[in-house]
Amino acid sequence: MMLGQHWQQVEEWMGLYGDRIMRVVFLVVNDIHLAEEITQDVFIKAYENADNFRSASAPYTWLYRIALNLSRNNIRRRRRFRLVPWEDDVYPLHVLEEPLVDHIIRRDTGRQIRRCLRQLPIRYLEVVVLYYYEDLKIGDIAHVLEMPEGTVKSHLARGRKALEKVMRKEGMADAGAGSIKELAER
């Protein structure tokens, strides 16, 4: 494939998957500016490695894998240097037209959930985010994370249990299994 064709393909992927990739990265790294930077890096890497993309898998699974790897690397680097993102440096990824009170409740609930998610080990966080926020099936998550489906199911169950425990500890009402999916929509 020629360089121009690579760029056209990556440009198409940016349009199709850019927002979803950025949302996943944001949920993992919890910093909007960093999420934007990592998302740009995802598409740069996709361009640089377009010859390595195998059409056997869907482009979004390949892009998610790149995004999660870059996010993991960033988290490791931040832990090593002890960089801590500002707690209130959270910006909405899109603006909804709704009453102000509903918007404030939704924003605050989203913040609480993200704070709870950040307390999960990365192996559970990734699975929970891909399952609840991206609505990926177990098989797709296994492909993205390059792990057996049984491991994904185990990480999801343990992540769900850990998240419920953290949510209860944080005083979030009705932190049952059904509520995670409902709350994840916020």
| C-beta separation of 154 from 116 below 8 A | no
Question: Is 1.10.1740.10 the CATH classification of the domain at 1-90?
Answer: yes
Could you say which of 3.30.300.90, 1.10.10.60, 2.60.40.10, 1.10.10.10 is the CATH number of the domain covering 95-186? 1.10.10.10
pLDDT single digits (tens) 3-47:
566 678 888 889 999 999 999 899 888 888 999 999 999 998 888
* Domain ranges for the chain: 1-90, 95-186
pTM (2 d.p.):
0.62
Q: What is the pLDDT of residue 53?
A: 73
